[in-house]
């Protein structure tokens, strides 16, 4: 998922997608351990997507906090 796509989402939608992505990452890690993983680069992409979502979520929370204070 690209950064501009994430920025268009509401905070709650980002949290939902973040939870789904973490679940998918967990499933892929199990596949890796059992030797069934066919695309190991997918792990890297998911980790980076999670980092992007967390960063953008923090940015929006911080911006909302600064607007109030």
Burial 1-17 (b: 16+ CB within 10 A, else e): beeeebeebeeeebeeb
pLDDT for position 26: 97
Query: Which residue range is the domain that position 24 belongs to?
Result: 3-68
Reduced 3-state DSSP string for 2-61? CHHHHHCCCHHHHHHHHHHHHHHHHHHHHHHHHCCCCCCHHHHHHHHHHHHHHHHHHHHH
Indicate which CATH number applies to the domain containing 21: 1.10.287.310
At 67 the pLDDT is: 73
Total domain count, the chain: 1
pLDDT at position 54, please?
97
pLDDT digits (tens, 9 = 90+) for 11-64: 999 999 999 999 999 999 999 999 999 999 999 999 999 999 999 999 999 998
Per-residue pLDDT for 69 more than 70? no
pTM above 0.75, yes or no: yes
For residue 68, the model assigns a pLDDT of 63
């Amino acid at each position: 998922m690209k950064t501009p796509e994430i920025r268009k989402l509401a905070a709650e939608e980002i949290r939902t997608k973040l939870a789904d992505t973490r679940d998918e990452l967990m499933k892929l890690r199990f596949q890796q351990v059992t030797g069934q993983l066919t695309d190991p680069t997918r792990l890297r992409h998911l980790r980076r997507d999670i980092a992007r979502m967390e960063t953008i979520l923090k940015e929006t929370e911080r911006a909302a906090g600064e607007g109030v204070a």
